[in-house]
Amino acid sequence: MRTFATLALLSVTGLGCRDKAAPPPPSTAAPLASSAPAAEELTVRHKSVSNRHYLLLSQRSPSMELRLKRPNRFDPKLLLCVPGTYTSPEGQVEGAVIESGKIVRDQAMPWEGLLSVRRGTPTVSWQKQRLGKEALQRFAQGGGSLLQGHLLVGEGKPRPLKPSPLLERRALFIGASGSFAVVESEGPVELGVFAQDLVALGARAAMNLDMGRWSEGFYRVRKGSEPVTLGKDFRSTAKQTNWLVLVAQ
């Protein structure tokens, strides 16, 4: 294939015995909150649109990076790692690529989606004109990172998309207030329907991320916790070329 209150996740274990004859009244205590700083946690939410279920992963104070070397799954500071844009049959990142101010590839593709990361904050833009080398050079001077991909949502509306098979999907979602999330379907969905659902979830802009055989990623709910695997088809994991990560601060 070519590709917001924060909820604290708590694990409750060891339910004790109760007096069966006199069940306790409902608890009125306030819910427990994690003591970890927000920048060390991942916000994990589950939402549904017309019985289609989605996983939303975000960081309150985003610290996103583009990496072109495989991230270490066991790095305790990595809260999220997912493949970014597409990889060519020759094993190269497709489209224009800038990593931390360095132009890695200047061969732009005619895709409308443009993901830029500046000082850890991701933005999805609607690129209505093909990127030229001068534009790439100007962007690189600011020290940010950049990837191209297919735009699924622009200006709060789903983009026209060709019919596609039912597959698991993933996208980078930007909300009206500039908030973001990586959204992953919890089952196969047609790409156009996915774009419509992203709008229903509040997207003002969204760019497709690589999935299919390239879907393997992971997340952890807080710094140092065990990683949770994302994706289902890992046949091309060894060929992945680019990743988006969220780093605990």
Length of the chain: 249
| pLDDT digit string (tens) for the chain, length 249 residues | 444 333 333 233 333 333 334 444 443 333 334 445 677 999 999 999 999 999 999 999 999 999 999 999 999 999 999 999 999 999 999 999 999 999 999 999 999 999 999 999 999 999 988 899 999 999 999 999 999 999 999 999 999 999 999 999 999 999 988 899 999 999 999 999 999 999 999 999 999 999 999 999 999 999 999 999 999 999 999 999 999 999 998
pLDDT at 37: 64
List of residues 6+ apart from 174 with CB closer than 8 A: 122, 123, 124, 180, 203, 204, 205, 206
Write down the residue that tokens 């807080």 correspond to. 222
pLDDT at 120: 97
Cross-strand pairs, 66: 244
pLDDT at 15: 32
- Give yes or no for a contact between 3 and 214, defined as CB atoms under 8 angstroms apart: yes
- Give yes or no for a contact between 195 and 206, defined as CB atoms under 8 angstroms apart: yes
pLDDT at 38: 74
Query: Which residue type is seen at 11?
Result: S
pLDDT at 19: 36
Distance CA 173, CA 183 (A): 7
CA distance readout (Å), 87 to 72, 109, 144, 150 = 20, 13, 21, 13
The dihedral sign for the CA sequence 20, 23, 24, 26: positive
Write down the residue that tokens 């072109």 correspond to. 68
Other CB atoms within 10 A of residue 135 CB: 16
